[in-house]
């Protein structure tokens, strides 16, 4: 799992090196995040929140079976 995470980090770093933080994300924005995600910067902030929330915890493993999260209001 850690090797996969590291590969994804390298891939993301490559994309971000050539992308403006103020640009619109290239991928589809989930409907439940449409009011929060407007730029690549917003995506990065969300990812920082997610990594910080799960670092050192087993929540991510608990979420894998059904996708249910305990993400509350920001």
The 10s digit of each residue's pLDDT in 3-54 is: 898 999 999 999 999 999 999 999 899 999 999 999 999 999 998 888 877 6
Identify which of 48, 6, 43, 11 has the alpha carbon closest to the alpha carbon of residue 26. Answer: 43
Going from N- to C-terminal start, the domains of the chain cover 21-74
Backbone angles phi, psi at 44, to 5 degrees: -60, -45
Tokens standing for residue 10: 């390298």
How confident is the model over 60-74, as a mean pLDDT? 64
pTM assigned to the model:
0.67
Burial of 43 (0-12, 13-18, 19+ CB in 10 A): buried
Higher pLDDT, 52 or 56: 52
Q: Looking at residue 72, what is its pLDDT?
A: 53
How much is the pLDDT for 41? Answer: 96
Q: Are 36 and 51 in contact (CB under 8 A)?
A: no
């Amino acid at each position: 799992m850690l090797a996969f995470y590291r590969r994804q980090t390298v891939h993301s770093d490559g994309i971000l090196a050539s992308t403006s933080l103020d640009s619109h994300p290239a991928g589809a924005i989930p409907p439940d995040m449409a009011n929060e995600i407007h730029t690549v910067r917003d995506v990065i902030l969300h990812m920082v929140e997610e990594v910080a929330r799960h670092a050192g915890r087993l929540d991510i493993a608990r979420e894998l079976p059904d996708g249910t999260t305990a993400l509350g209001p920001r």
